[in-house]
C-alpha cells in the first residue's frame, strides 16, 4: 500500500477536522492544494474561471461528504486531484459535444491568463513537482505522450489510438507500461 508521508498525516488530520465542521481546517486544505487543483483543471478545460469553479466543487465535495475519503485508499491530495480531474474531464467532454455542433473554439487568450503571477507553494509540493518531472523525463516519449493525452487532454484510449493511428492494444500497452514506471518512481510504497 501507499506509505503515508508526514505531510499526508497532516492532511488526514485536517480532513478529520473538516468532518467535524472545522472550516479553518477546510480553508487550510484549500490554501495548500487549491492552486494545484486549479492548475490541473485549467490544463484540462483551458478556462481560468471554469477551472477555479471545478476545483472549488471538488473541495466542496469533500466538505459535504468527508467520509468519501478513506485513508487506506491513498493520500488526501491523491483523492483531491482525482476528484478535480474527474470533474474537469466530464466538463470537457460535455463541452466538446456542444462544440462539435456549434464549431466554436475556446478563446486562446483565456489560456494565457494569469501569466506572470507567481504562486508560492509549500516546500514538499515543490520537491514533489521536481521529482515527478524528473520521473516523467525518464519515461519513454511514446509512453509519456499517451499518458499526457489521456490525463491532460481528456482523451480516451480509443481516441488516442485513432488520433495517433495506432492499434488500440498498442495504446493500452503504452499506458500500462508508462504508468508502471511512473508509479515505481513516484509512489512511496510501504513494506
- Residue 73 sits in the site that holds other proteins (CB under 8 A): yes
Cα 19 to Cα 158: distance, rounded to the nearest angstrom = 40
Beta bridge partners of 189: 2
Cα–Cα dist 165/148, whole Å: 17
Q: Is 87 in the site for other proteins (CB under 8 A)?
A: yes
Q: Per CB under 8 A, does 129 bind other proteins? A: yes
Closest approach, Cβ 18 to other proteins, in A, equals: 9
C-alpha cell at 131: 521529482
Q: Is residue 114 at the binding interface for other proteins, with CB under 8 A as the rule?
A: yes
* Residue from 46, 66, 111, 164 in contact with other proteins (CB under 8 A): 66
The SS3 of residue 2 is strand
143 near other proteins, judged by CB under 8 A: no
Rounded to a whole number of angstroms, the minimum distance from the CB of residue 149 to other proteins is: 8
Give the torsion through C-alpha atoms of 93, 145, 105, 49, to 10 deg: 70
CB of 129 to other proteins, least distance (A): 6
Q: How far apart are the C-alpha atoms of 137 and 144, rounded to whole Å?
A: 8
**x/- contact string, 18-37, with other proteins (CB under 8 A)?**
-xxx-x--xx--xx--xxxx
Q: Output the smallest distance, CB 165 to other proteins, in A.
A: 17
Contact 88, 51 (CB under 8 A): yes
Query: Quick check: 170 binds other proteins (CB under 8 A)?
Result: no
Amino acid at each position: 500500500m501507499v506509505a503515508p508521508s508526514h505531510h499526508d498525516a497532516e492532511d488526514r488530520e485536517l480532513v478529520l477536522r473538516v468532518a467535524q465542521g472545522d472550516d479553518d481546517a477546510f480553508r487550510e486544505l484549500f490554501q495548500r492544494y487549491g492552486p494545484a487543483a486549479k492548475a490541473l483543471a485549467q490544463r484540462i478545460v483551458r478556462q481560468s474561471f471554469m477551472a477555479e469553479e471545478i476545483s472549488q466543487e471538488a473541495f466542496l465535495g469533500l466538505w459535504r461528504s468527508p467520509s468519501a475519503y478513506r485513508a487506506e485508499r491513498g493520500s488526501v491530495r491523491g483523492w483531491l486531484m482525482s476528484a478535480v480531474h474527474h470533474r474537469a474531464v466530464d466538463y470537457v467532454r460535455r463541452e466538446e459535444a456542444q462544440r462539435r455542433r456549434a464549431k466554436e473554439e475556446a478563446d486562446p487568450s483565456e489560456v494565457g491568463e494569469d501569466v506572470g503571477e507567481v504562486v508560492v507553494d509549500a516546500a514538499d509540493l515543490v520537491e514533489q513537482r521536481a521529482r515527478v518531472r524528473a520521473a516523467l523525463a525518464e519515461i519513454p516519449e511514446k509512453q509519456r505522450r499517451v499518458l499526457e493525452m489521456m490525463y491532460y487532454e481528456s482523451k480516451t484510449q480509443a481516441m488516442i489510438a485513432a488520433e495517433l493511428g495506432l492499434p488500440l492494444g498498442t495504446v493500452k500497452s503504452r499506458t500500462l507500461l508508462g504508468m508502471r514506471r511512473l508509479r515505481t518512481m513516484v509512489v512511496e510504497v510501504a513494506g
